[in-house]
A and B are shown apart, each in its own frame.
Chain A
């Protein structure tokens, strides 16, 4: 029985004859964070999509809570938050309506109050009744972060969470992620560079051409020992 909330076992993905991910092994336990870092096309987003259950593995297994991510029960899906490249927000709904809609889907009690609280937390309280279509990219990213976290998930997957955020927005987002880890959330993130994640105590994994390469730095290992990781 594994205690990892997020786990990849010999995970591989090919699109036609082209392998995008090869033999990826990683696990993230409750309260821990791991950041997968790599260049464009390294396979970071594909890895996140596989572990979120949005895409089927070609080889190996993508597991959440020890169960195949692709066939997760609704009760467990409720405990997963995903921030993707795309904001997953409806442009013609207001910020509050977007969050309230998702809060309802996730069975959050008093969806409206929770939506308003999260809008304040991501410093968008003043824009609560504005339609998302008029938002800047940074505002949309902060709202998307709130969407991914408003059900207080136990597993959080963040695909380039600091993209389009200014320094203030990055600090705000980092604080929310660290807070989530503090209450036991397992976080898997992807990024082009390790910078902010090192400061947050994440284990940093390098992904190159679909393979995990290199070990977590000594600094991260000493700070948290967050991640059991194997590279074949």
Chain B
């Protein structure tokens, strides 16, 4: 009888440890706890299993927590959870068959440098899937650098400074087009339009241009035109925006913006006016409609998006996402992208 009790107790302890370890590997906050325990312990050793576990847990938790803080602001499908895969035991055949880059990570003494380099490599890999070679190089780099800096700033000022020194500065020195573009991204980001609309539009245009030699050859001009239009649009806020600025017809996409604004509509929960705007967009052949709402009107903006999705069959809700800044420049915000169903 006693043997059974001990066997069960052993099994339960094993199961708890197994599940606990699994959760500490998958949930970023728990992973951070694991890193906080492992890193000081591993610093006693120069290398080995403990050191690798600490490096891995620290990089994964820091990157994943920062990415979670962006929420779903980045386009859907771009960012998955980061996982460091130690591959020292892989064969030469595995190396060539996988086709992936293998990064060298330094000892724990240089863990901040590891974090910066691994996160940078991760973002490089994630941004502009299927369209990396179509998006102009300076935009691709500037978008990764801008986001990487935000990611590090989320952790602490030291990491942000380190990122600036070892990633940003060399990149800017090697391509003088990057810095002016990053400045423009910063302007868009202050109103939620960088990740909210710009990255999504560049990606949509780049995907559409892959097998269109005319547009593919003019991607640089098209990316600039998107920036020009969005900068112009947000610079008019909060004043009245001229009718022709609410949408832009490019060679691949025809997008429009809809701001869930006006206090009287929010107060009366009047979604009809916005549904009418969406119908007007259909009449104007808009195929991508961005709906933006301020943080304080989040639930009403969500109702507007759902109402358009139900009442305007030409549009389907492709993504609903949160913003770090709303169109008024306040923290938070809600947005959605509706795309035209096949005509």
Task: Decide if A and B are genuine partners.
Answer: no
B residues neighboring A (CB under 8 Å): none
